[in-house]
Structure 1
């Protein structure tokens, strides 16, 4: 589970409940108008579904799960693997990587190494991998757009709910004793509209954007390594290139590890 997502959600809910209690209210009051809750969730999701293709709507549970889970990507392990493949390619040739490519679990990386082994032109390899990343980001963008749109619709449906509630209030002007509760219920719709937009929809969209940027960075790092291997670059240079994609603290440790792992012969060639 993504601790940051869970912690942020728990903190926000806690603050809301505490603030409500300090104002003399009760958390149960948030659920005093179930019709408003149904209107906000149903209306905002329904309006957003209208703007989205069915294929995207069917994948919503997957996208929501991504916001609450940590994507496992071993950047250091990938750098080690690409550095080793670069060393082997320089010593034995690109064809020697055929067996290694079949053992790679990452489909994107496996595809890139396989194209290099097959002798595909570097420009074509780059173009194919670039297109793969672009299509991946386009799918992610659609998911982010869905939750962003829902975050825009929710407050509007909150206002609609409040207006509907006030219409009901106006019908009870001859009963002053019931006006207070009716007005409070009406404004609960606005509250739920703002809560769902700023506590659910927009935060999920923001989290998906961060995960998209992280995955794109990882893919570009892999692509950089694949093209460097195809160009026959020194393993040390390959490692240095890929370390540039890591945070400074991680890159420093990776460089120190690389100094120990690069064979003596390769280290001498790097210095030369």
Structure 2
């Protein structure tokens, strides 16, 4: 989510579509068997426990723990009715352009700046969401490694750019440049039926295992890669509705809404206890 897969954003349409085709060779989709897991985080959004920075031990904070905004909407502290509301077990994150002409929106992260909160080493992380339609929207479900002292490890389970409603991107990044190293990155585009991601709820998940990491759409595998050694640490989930990502937001619907049904995290059962 820092600047994920930015090079592809500026390709010609023909070259871009060719690369998508190359990135997505035909492969058998494996279904993840959730019966082989125990749930470790169950957030069903029957209510929302959030504060700006984790005051009073809230489950979620409303900023990145390192206080880094991105995109063209500022992530704001929660107030009554904005940018978060919950109704019938669904979280609504709202992006709105205010009377001052500035856009504001919402982000949730499960740890505070001291690393307190929920994080987990290895396992399956999943969110069920309905994405906003419209040019300029940039919702995402992503993970960050808890230890940022020497690098930042990031997994973008799903990033969606509203100007291309027939696809979304997944990727990973190991940000080392700020500590004198070289960044590593890789990614994958998934093509879907035009508009389905904003018309229906879908699940977006990733399982991190010591040797292999696999990304899932509706619990079917869409991409996998060898797990970097830097991912052998606890990760925590984030979800947000950003705007822009290098694209204009002058046609972005005001307001725009990201709907989140749940965020669940699981850990694999020991082999002798798995069903």
Q: Normalising by structure 1, what TM-score?
A: 0.20
Q: Normalising by structure 2, what TM-score?
A: 0.20
Q: If each structure's helix is expressed as a fraction of its own residues, which one has the higher value?
A: 1
Pair member with larger Rg: 1
